[in-house]
Every structure is written in C-alpha cells, then in structure tokens.
Structure 1
Amino acid sequence: MGALNVFLLIVLAVSAALTIILILMHSGKGTGVSDMIASSMYNSAAGSGIWEKNLDRLTVITAIVFGVTICILALTFPVGTIG
C-alpha cells in the first residue's frame, strides 16, 4: 500500500466523521436530541439562518470529499488475489 492510499484512507476517515457530526448538528423538526444541541449552540433569534446556511455548506463539502475519496480509492487501492 502506497503513501497515496494511506493519505486517502486518513482523508476518508476524517471526512466520514465530520459528515456524521455535521448531519447530527442540523436542527430537526421535533423535540429530539438535535433540537437540544442546536438550542444550546445558538439563540434562535440571533443569526440562525447564517448558522444553518454555513452548516449546510460544510455538510455538502464534507460529503463531496467523502464521495470523491471513495472513487479515488476504488481506482487506486491494491487489488487482492483470489485463490
């Protein structure tokens, strides 16, 4: 396994963790855990629109990085032998 694959595996793990965290930070429509976390992070009257917009952007960016990394790894990862 080369240095590129090790680097891509690290990027994959970090982007996966960030994507999960950012998705969980989105405010929900109910009274679940995401609403409790979101209400403690910012006041709903003070710039929640900007917070949500930036959170959406970061989530999309990390999801794209995750997808591109998967595609690159699929092309460059060493192929195992069968039998």
Structure 2
Amino acid sequence: MFTWSFIVIEAASAIALIFLVLLHSGRGGGISDLMGGSVNSMAAGSTVVERNLDRITIAVALVFTFATLTLDLRLQ
C-alpha cells in the first residue's frame, strides 16, 4: 500500500509539473497570454502571478523528486 500511494503521488505531481511548466512565460507572455492580455497591459499583477507560479512549480518539483527517490529506494 505504501508503494502504491507514492506511485499515485508521483504520477499526479508529474502531470501537475508538466502543466505548471507550460504556464510559465518563455519568449512570449506565458500566463498573461493565456488570459488574453499582453505583458505590458498587466502592469503589476503579472509579477505577483509569475512569482507565485514559480513558488508552486518549485514545490511540486520537490514533491516529485521526493516521491521518485522514495520509490527508487523502496523498489530496490
């Protein structure tokens, strides 16, 4: 049961991590383009949203890493 719970956690965090990385801005506006505005039109709000998106992405990446390492040690 312990192993299956970490498999579910790893799969869910992998899907969430893919989604969160795709929301980040690359050369375009990223999440602001998704919401229909440009980077310049969303003056103060985009920096807070991007900063929070960075924090959430790091947290999900840490959960994914922890689940992967735990499964690696458990399944050896």
Superposition TM-score tier, normalisation by shorter sequence? 0.7 to 0.9
* 1:8/1:26 CA distance change after superposition, 3 Å: same
Q: State how many pairs are aligned.
A: 72
Structure-1 residue corresponding to 2:33: 39
- Given the alignment of the two structures, is residue 52 of structure 1 paired with residue 32 of structure 2, yes or no? no
Structure-1 residue corresponding to 2:60: 62
Q: Percent identity?
A: 38
TM-score by length of 2: 0.82
Point out where structure 1 has 5 or more consecutive residues left out of the alignment: none
Pick the structure with greater CA Rg.
1
TM-score by length of 1: 0.75
Aligned counterparts of 2:44 and 2:61: Cα–Cα separation in 1 = 28
Aligned counterparts of 1:10 and 1:42: Cα–Cα separation in 2 = 34
What is the root-mean-square deviation in Å for CA atoms of aligned residues?
1.9
